């Protein structure tokens, strides 16, 4: 992992709208909130909401995981009610492509879902996720209450700490990755062009 963690935690202030339109939508297709989505979470279950870039990938991340009852693709975080897929894709609604996960806390924990979230995104990418670019594709943990916020922020701090440890002595931990990076960037070649025989040559990992 390289760079600063750009994924963030946001209080989910707006209702989650289900995605009724496909990835290649028909003109005017809507994403209205369904009665099932408007209903309270079933007794004994809980809800988690994540934006992970493409909601297709977010949905498959959680579906069939132990304790997960259902996963719904949709949009949240924005200012427009019942947006179309085209509107969200334009990046003008403030919404994120998201997934709503209904789970049984007796069989899985919110912390486990957070772990699946973090390891299913590139948390250092600030402009979207992977090949999808734009604010509507950024990775976000939407929290419902203080309990979820505290858990989400704690998980982010723990990941940031582990990322720092990951970088220490990387040339030794992952020599093939390190060498491929160094050679791919043509670092030594460029140093030789600049400094000739005065170019610094590392004593390890070279």
| pLDDT tens profile 132-155 | 999 999 999 998 888 999 999 899
Say whether both 104 and 189 belong to one domain.
no
Is residue 206 in a domain?
A: no
Same-domain check for residues 100 and 149? yes
Asked whether the CA dihedral 11, 59, 161, 1 is positive or negative, the reply is negative
Total number of domains in the chain: 2
User: Given pLDDT bands bounded at 50, 70 and 90, which one contains residue 61?
Assistant: very high
Is 185 a residue of the active site?
no
In a domain, 106, yes or no: yes
Residues 82 and 106 in one domain: yes
Token pair recorded at residue 59: 């949905």
- pLDDT of res. 27: 29
Q: Are 113 and 157 in contact (CB under 8 A)?
A: no
Predicted model pTM: 0.72
Does a structural domain hold residue 63? yes
pLDDT level of residue 106 (50, 70, 90 thresholds): very high
Q: Are residues 147 and 184 both part of a single domain?
A: no
Inside any domain, residue 140: yes
Same domain, 129 and 178: no
* Residue 113 located in a structural domain: yes
For 113-139, b/e burial (b = at least 16 CB within 10 A) is bbebbbebbbbebeebbeebebbbbbb
Whether 48 and 100 map to the same domain: the answer is yes
Of the CA atoms within 13 Å of residue 34, those in its CB half-sphere come to 10
Kindly state whether residue 108 falls inside one of the protein's structural domains. yes
Name the range with the highest mean pLDDT among 30-34, 35-39, 105-109, 119-123.
105-109
Task: Give residue 201's pLDDT.
Answer: 81
C-alpha distances (whole Å) from 89 to each of 32, 60, 100, 124, 130 are 16, 20, 19, 22, 15
| Catalytic hit among 54, 57, 131, 169 | 54
Task: Please report which residue ranges of 126-196 form alpha helices under DSSP H.
Answer: 146-167, 170-173, 175-184, 187-195
Which CATH number is 95's domain given? 3.30.1060.10
Q: Largest Cα–Cα distance in the chain?
A: 72
Residue 118 sits in the same domain as residue 175: no
Q: Would 74 be classed as within a structural domain?
A: yes
Residues 119 and 180 in one domain: no
Query: Residue 13 has what pLDDT?
Result: 36
Tell me whether residue 136 is in a domain.
yes
Domain that holds residue 80: 8-167
Q: Identify whether the C-beta of residue 19 lies closer than 8 Å to the C-beta of residue 73.
A: yes
């Amino acid at each position: 992992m390289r760079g600063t963690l750009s994924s963030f935690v946001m209080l989910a202030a707006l209702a989650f709208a289900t995605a009724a339109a496909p990835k290649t939508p028909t003109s005017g297709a809507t994403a209205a909130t369904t009665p099932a989505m408007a209903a309270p979470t079933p007794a004994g279950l809980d809800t988690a909401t994540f934006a992970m870039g493409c909601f297709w990938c977010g949905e498959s991340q959680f579906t069939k995981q132990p304790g997960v009852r259902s996963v719904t693709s949709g949009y949240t975080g924005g200012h427009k009610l019942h947006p179309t897929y085209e509107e969200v894709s334009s990046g003008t609604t403030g919404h994120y492509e998201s997934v709503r996960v209904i789970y049984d806390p007796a069989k899985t924990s919110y912390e486990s879902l957070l772990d699946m979230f973090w390891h299913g995104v590139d948390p250092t990418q600030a402009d979207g996720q992977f090949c999808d670019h734009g604010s509507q594709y950024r990775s976000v943990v939407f929290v419902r209450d203080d309990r979820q916020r505290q858990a989400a922020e704690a998980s982010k701090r723990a990941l940031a700490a582990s990322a720092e440890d990951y970088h220490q002595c990387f040339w030794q931990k992952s020599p093939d990755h390190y060498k491929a990076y160094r050679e791919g960037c043509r670092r030594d070649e460029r140093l030789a062009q600049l400094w000739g025989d005065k170019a610094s040559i590392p004593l390890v990992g070279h």
